A and B are shown apart, each in its own frame.
Chain A
Amino acid sequence: MKQARGVANGFSEHIIGIVSRSRFRLPFHGTSVFVTNSSSLKCSGHMAAVSSAEIPTKYVLGRAPNITSVPCEYIEDLHNGDILSLNPDGRVTKLWDLRSRHNVIFVTNLCDCRCLACPQPNAPDPKDIFAQNKWTLKHVPRGSTSPITFTGGEPTLKEKELSTLLEICKKRVCSVPVFLLTNGRRLSNFEFAKRIADINIPNLTFCVSIYGDVDEIHDYCVGAKGAFQETVRGLHNLARLNKQVELRIVIIRNNYRRLLQIAEFIYRNFPFVLHVAFMGMESTGKAWENIKEVWVDPVEYMSQLHAAIQHLHHRNLNTSIYNLPFCLLPRQLWPFSRDSISDWKKILLPICSPCVLREKCPGFFTTSQIQSSYIHPISDSDLRI
């Protein structure tokens, strides 16, 4: 979620509201936040204001709660209907982007795994995280077509919260694709899996991450003994409940040699999955701390990835490659590449500027601290070969 920092004035509790670019609040628009580039915060009916202008404190005292001196680009990127959270420490966070295809609900920061390549380490939850998520989902416009992704942490650790959020989701925007990112461990309890499944969102896909075809590798990569067995049982419970399942394999140094075996394991044991995604890693958080152990340049694993994709494609299992730019993939694998990185954390590098595929490229994580040393622009003449 896109964040920026400014100077907060006049409030001590965290505020959440819908962006309005107009000084006058339209009726029935709920709690709104006036967003402007102007140095005048004069507005009517809004509960707070955000501005890019630097305004001396004496002029904003007595006004509605506000955050000033937010970067101009950030303000430009806020549109009517987006949902914003304002923190008394000056942080502004865009919780919902009406124009984005990558809206995410962080159910919790807690996790029952300690993945070596985790980009988003386990942390205690802010006390109002649930209220904020509820508020956000309740204010997504009814006609919205943007897919909704529930992630964490591990969302299944907070059953009550997750169920409530899914129920809201079902009531408000029942036809949009909903993704639940999970390690699947809790789903090994059939009763639990059934409770989640029974919420019965028609377009819900469980996106389960798996690192290996054997417990040794998987358990080591997720830092939890017994996790592999639980995840496998969870996957079979989802199949038994007739739910849609996607498998996600993050490729790291610890598992890249077994991509083909993982593909065969999936075909033999989970032939019911709708989709298998092989993913380039995001080198931040824990992954950056463990970078020496987990980093492998994508070019090093390309032959294994090629074989695994060929294996699943032969077997008519939908397969995709996430988070890897075209220039690192052999031409035959391009059709499997997806524009997978959330728009709020996707960038292209300076070296990409002459590349003819830059528009379609999945690009890179802004957050990643290390990139492949084989990244290069693709020219028209490359395409003609």
Chain B
Amino acid sequence: MSTKTAEEVVRMIFRSPSPMIKIEFQGGEPLLNWEVVKHIIEYAEKLNRIASKYLEFVLCTNLTLVTEDILAYLRLHKVRISTSLDGPKPLHDLHRIKRDGNSSYDDFLRNLPLVRSVVGQDACSPLLTITRDHLPRLRSVIDEYLDKGFSGIFLRAINPYGIAKTEWTTLGYPIEDFVSAYKDAFAYILEINKSGHRFIEFYASLLLNRILTPFSTGFVDLQSPSGAGISGVIYDYNGDVFPTDESRMLARSGDLSFYLGNVHSSNYEDIFGGMRLREITRQTCLEVLPGCATCFYQLYCGSDPIRNYAESGDIIGHRPSSDFCKKNMQLFDFLFDILRANDKKTLDVFWSWITNRDIKDVSL
């Protein structure tokens, strides 16, 4: 991304009526274009002196290129770090080899203490990509997260986009396999929590938050109407605007169905008030989607239009063959079974996740 595009993007971001703005740097590897990242942060802070919104930054990086100077800068500008950790070394390096053929796990391990000492213990949170190789080994992945002192793990199934789609036969799996591996991992996580060590499974925590509280989660992937384009938006390196990262990937492979415009040539009203985004929003209200309209989990669920499009050719989608639907239905069944059992210790754990308190502070 060039400096000129970056400034256009930031100006576009600040046209948003939202009082809260979170700018997340993704890639590729954003640290390969560090000067522009810095420019965006400083330009956004400058605009915010007048806009006075609640402004946040997140940098998604594999940590291979972080230096003490970069970290000091991130700390100064209160930028949070999102990274990847796919488990213990053999599992992590299995699908994350550096261009030079070396282990990226070693870089991660070397730089993590540096990140923590400069930015803070909780400054960095990792995401896990679960491939076919991970399914039977989730417990060892959880052990790795515990061992490195992380407060929880997000167990999410791999999405069939980009390289993951072309390599589906080696990386992918039937969603039923994911659900049974999830249940086993979840039982393990509950055991850890019940022994007194608070360790969150973030997806369950999101769903429980939706089921048990009056608050919204801000989780864009599970909203009705879909959060695509209205709660989150993607600006590509050249200024192209997409409702989600998946639609940007679709555009890479030649399908421009979700292209909303470009910051250089389109204005705010055309991008965010245009027919394309209106259509996406209009057609992703669960109340009117076939299958969802009569589903008892409607209140807690959301829709994923781009995923639907990728799977069935339109954004409404086909529930009986949707993996998104299958996965969420089974996870809701699973969580409701646990809630129905009404075990006091389990509920203490759940509420400690939801309200962000120690387990001992939650129980009577």
Name A's B-contacting residues (CB within 8 A).
267-269, 271, 309-310, 313-316, 332-333
Contact with A along B209-234 (1 / 0, CB 8 A): 00001110000000000000000000
* A310 lies within 8 A of B214 (CB): no
Q: Which residues of A contact B214 (CB under 8 A)?
A: 267-269, 271
CA distance A231 to B355 in the complex (A): 28
* A313 lies within 8 A of B215 (CB): no
Identify the closest chain B residue to A336 (Cβ): B364
* B362 lies within 8 A of A314 (CB): yes
B118 near A: Cβ within 8 Å?
no
In the complex, the 7 A-B pairs of residues with the closest C-beta atoms, listed nearest first: A314-B351, A316-B355, A332-B364, A268-B214, A310-B364, A271-B214, A314-B362
CB distance from A213 to the nearest CB of B (A): 14
Assuming the contacts A267-B214, A268-B214, A271-B214, asked whether A313 and B364 have C-beta atoms less than 8 A apart, the reply is: yes
Q: Which residues of B contact A315 (CB under 8 A)?
A: 213, 351, 355
B23 near A: Cβ within 8 Å?
no
Given contacts A314-B351, A315-B351, A316-B357, 6 further A-B pairs with CB under 8 A are A267-B214, A271-B213, A310-B364, A313-B364, A314-B355, A315-B355
CA distance A271 to B213 in the complex (A): 9
CB distance from B191 to the nearest CB of A (A): 20
B123 near A: Cβ within 8 Å?
no
Q: Which of B213, B351, B357, B364 is A309 in contact with, Cβ under 8 Å?
A: B364
CA distance A38 to B348 in the complex (A): 63
CA distance A313 to B354 in the complex (A): 12
CA distance A309 to B364 in the complex (A): 9
- Dominant SS among interface residues on chain B: loop
CA distance A333 to B364 in the complex (A): 8
Identify the closest chain B residue to A314 (Cβ): B351
Q: Which residues of A contact B364 (CB under 8 A)?
A: 309-310, 313, 332-333
Complex A-B: 14 CB contacts under 8 Å:
A267-B213, A267-B214, A268-B214, A269-B214, A271-B213, A271-B214, A310-B364, A313-B362, A314-B347, A314-B355, A314-B362, A315-B351, A316-B351, A316-B355
* A271 lies within 8 A of B362 (CB): no
CA distance A75 to B188 in the complex (A): 69
CB distance from B210 to the nearest CB of A (A): 13
Identify the closest chain A residue to B362 (Cβ): A314
* A271 lies within 8 A of B357 (CB): no
CA distance A333 to B357 in the complex (A): 19
Assuming the contacts A309-B364, A313-B362, A332-B364, asked whether A271 and B351 have C-beta atoms less than 8 A apart, the reply is: no
Contacting A at CB under 8 A, from B337-364, are 347-348, 351, 355, 357, 362, 364
CA distance A162 to B176 in the complex (A): 65
Identify the closest chain B residue to A317 (Cβ): B355
Q: Which residues of A contact B213 (CB under 8 A)?
A: 267, 271, 315
Q: Which residues of B contact A267 (CB under 8 A)?
A: 213-214
CA distance A24 to B351 in the complex (A): 64
CA distance A12 to B334 in the complex (A): 78
Identify the closest chain A residue to B364 (Cβ): A332
Q: Which residues of B contact A332 (CB under 8 A)?
A: 364
Q: Which residues of A contact B357 (CB under 8 A)?
A: 316
Q: Which of B215, B351, B357 has the most CB of A within 10 A?
A: B351
Q: Which residues of A contact B348 (CB under 8 A)?
A: 314
CA distance A333 to B214 in the complex (A): 26
* A271 lies within 8 A of B355 (CB): no
CB distance from A208 to the nearest CB of B (A): 19
CA distance A310 to B351 in the complex (A): 11
CB distance from B347 to the nearest CB of A (A): 7
CB distance from A50 to the nearest CB of B (A): 50
Q: Which residues of A contact B351 (CB under 8 A)?
A: 314-316
* A271 lies within 8 A of B347 (CB): no
CA distance A315 to B214 in the complex (A): 11
CA distance A373 to B215 in the complex (A): 43
CA distance A267 to B214 in the complex (A): 7
Identify the closest chain A residue to B344 (Cβ): A310
CB distance from A91 to the nearest CB of B (A): 46
Q: Which residues of B contact A333 (CB under 8 A)?
A: 364
Contacting A at CB under 8 A, from B51-79, are none
CB distance from B207 to the nearest CB of A (A): 17
Q: Which residues of B contact A316 (CB under 8 A)?
A: 351, 355, 357
Identify the closest chain A residue to B348 (Cβ): A314
Q: Which residues of A contact B215 (CB under 8 A)?
A: 271
Q: Which residues of B contact A269 (CB under 8 A)?
A: 214
Q: Which residues of A contact B347 (CB under 8 A)?
A: 314
Q: Which residues of B contact A309 (CB under 8 A)?
A: 364
CA distance A310 to B214 in the complex (A): 18
CA distance A163 to B340 in the complex (A): 50
Identify the closest chain A residue to B355 (Cβ): A316
CB distance from A324 to the nearest CB of B (A): 16
CA distance A296 to B355 in the complex (A): 34
Q: Which of A268, A269, A271, A313 has the most CB of B within 10 A?
A: A313
Q: Which of A268, A314, A315 has the most CB of B within 10 A?
A: A314
CA distance A240 to B351 in the complex (A): 27
Identify the closest chain B residue to A268 (Cβ): B214
Q: Which residues of A contact B362 (CB under 8 A)?
A: 313-314
CA distance A225 to B123 in the complex (A): 54
